[in-house]
Structure 1
Amino acid sequence: MRRQLILACFLLTPVIAAPALSGPLTDAAASADAAIAAGDFDAWYAANEVLIETAWNAAGLHFGNLVATTGPATAYGAYEPRASTVYAAGEPVELYIEPRGYGYGDLGGGQLEIAFDIDLRVLEPSGSVVMEQENFANFVVKTRARSRELMVNLTATFDGAPAGNYTLEFTFKDRHSDQTASFTNDITLQ
């Protein structure tokens, strides 16, 4: 009897411990699954768009690839990584950034806008701020689709800056979602 009771408790544990799966992401995934099972590609596509949009909004503004590059990227994913983050005096610091989770502004007539104001802070290794520039850069793109493959090129040049190690802190302020997100990039100026 004791053995049967232990076995019964063991078998019930996963059921009791498993959280109830529900919510917008689970519902959207279930709709996509049902559409695939029914062989309805159009319904699957629509359900998949809801799933992606729900996850996109839940994640909030953040960044995918952040790469020091040899020059500006020509398109999403079309960049050449830089081997080192050591820069000669006056040499431009080129960065490739993939923002994610941003909002969309409705411009009317089926047109949307993705827009960021980007602040820059330059910090010494001690954390003290050497330079700060609000709205260092602005990025605006107009589109008729909820584009999710977006890249931003940033270029900063530090003419006359003393040689040393610095941390560049960029803060993206999303004009259409009131979200902000920051990332840092360490560089050495020679």
Structure 2
Amino acid sequence: MRQVLILIFAMTFAAVAHADPLADLATAQKAVIEAWTKVPFSQQNVIFVAEPSTGYGVYKKRDSNVFKPGEPIFSYAEPIGYGWKQLPDSLYELHLVADLDIIDASGEVVWSKKGFLDSDLQSHKQNLEFKLDMTLNVDGAPAGKYKLHYTLYDMTSGKTSSFDQDFEIASAG
């Protein structure tokens, strides 16, 4: 019995000593990609920011959704569950397009733009970290409460998602 235990210990120790952390990481990454394909196309971390971000998760959150007349509106969002298109030369492409409607307090669409945003990325990896920066100038819009309604299209998978951001334009002065 003692010899069996020693043999089991030796085999376990040998397996641990020869474990390949890079292979383990590649296996985990493959599992994450598989799980990603099951996530509904949507977005997380939709916020107003003080200025356009400088990278994924690298932004300065704005403290308020009230903007001065003529002040640019910067929005940040992290889409999730999008797909990738396999390209030649071991490349992957993700491609997202957004339409934008501005809706006033009565529910009327006061401005609309198809293809407001068109963003894509080609990479040798199936990137899971992708961010959208949206800049809007509403010069001349009257003071009041509004809603930004974004419709996001994943051009690879054909899936659609949408999200809203309530904001206000303050009175001048």
Fold conserved (TM > 0.5)?
yes
1:50 Cα deviation after fit: 2.8
125, 128, 132: which one pairs with 2:108?
Answer: 128
Amino acid at match of 2:47: V
Q: Structure 2 CA distance, aligned partners of 1:175 and 1:182?
A: 14
Q: Structure 2 CA distance, aligned partners of 1:47 and 1:140?
A: 27
Q: Structure 1 residue 71 and structure 2 residue 31: aligned?
A: no
126, 142, 154: which one pairs with 1:174?
Answer: 154
Amino acid at match of 1:47: T
Name structure 1 gaps, 5 residues minimum: 1-34
**Structure 1 stretches of at least 4 aligned residues deviating more than 6 Å after TM superposition:** none
- Count of residues paired in the alignment: 155
Q: Root-mean-square deviation (CA), in Å?
A: 1.8
Q: Which aligned pairs between 1:53-132 and structure 2 lie closer than 5 A? A: 53-132=33-112
Any idea what SS the aligned residue of 2:37 has? helix
1:177 Cα deviation after fit: 0.7
Encode CA deviations 1:93-151: one digit per residue, 9 max, x unaligned.
Answer: 00111111111122211111111111001112232222221101111111111111111
User: 2:169 — aligned with what?
Assistant: 189
1:43 Cα deviation after fit: 4.3
Q: Structure 1 CA distance, aligned partners of 2:142 and 2:105?
A: 14
Q: Structure 1 CA distance, aligned partners of 2:117 and 2:81?
A: 19
> What's the TM-score once normalised by structure 2's chain length?
0.83
Q: Structure 2 CA distance, aligned partners of 1:125 and 1:144?
A: 45
Q: Structure 1 CA distance, aligned partners of 2:67 and 2:77?
A: 19
The higher relative CO (CA closer than 8 Å, separation ≥ 6) is in 2
User: 1:163 — aligned with what?
Assistant: 143
1:45 Cα deviation after fit: 2.4
Contact 2:42 2:80 in 1 (8 A): yes
Amino acid at match of 1:88: K
Q: Structure 2 CA distance, aligned partners of 1:100 and 1:47?
A: 21
> What's the TM-score once normalised by structure 1's chain length?
0.76
Name structure 2 gaps, 5 residues minimum: 1-14
Any idea what SS the aligned residue of 1:136 has? strand
User: 1:148 — aligned with what?
Assistant: 128
